[in-house]
Structure 1
Amino acid sequence: MKRRERTRQLIELGGLVAKADLIELTGDDRAVLLGLLIDAAAMLRGETRERQLLLWRRRGQRAFDAAATGL
């Protein structure tokens, strides 16, 4: 991946963390944020991977849709 593409990806991912209110909810505690992400990764390595992806995808799409409509 080229440097500019990687930088853009990282900025977009940081935006998602902010959009989910995780920065405020964790007091910008990066250890807590990393812990959350490690737990999510562990869930994706487990037997309920597909179910969890479906749940998170639906929840995320609803949030995107709500933001697009100004709700």
Structure 2
Amino acid sequence: MIKASAKLSTRGNSLAVTIPKDLLEATGFRQGDDLSLLARDDGVIEISHAAPDEAALDAAFEWSLGRYSQAYADMAK
């Protein structure tokens, strides 16, 4: 496990955090990577590599959930 600290800085109308090099090397993150961010209820932000076309996968799941809601309900029993 690698532990580091960082500060939030202003970037335009947003806030940004700089990730130290050793953490980047440990995770394999590279400039330009698509990332997935998850804000947990306990205040932790999880950052991970985004799945390829994650938005398209989410849209397909939402469509199938609407189209086959009864099948999902039956499988959940």
When the two structures are superposed, what TM-score results if normalisation uses the length of structure 1?
A: 0.28
Higher helix share: 1
Q: Which structure features the higher share of strand residues?
A: 2
Q: Which has the larger radius of gyration?
A: 2
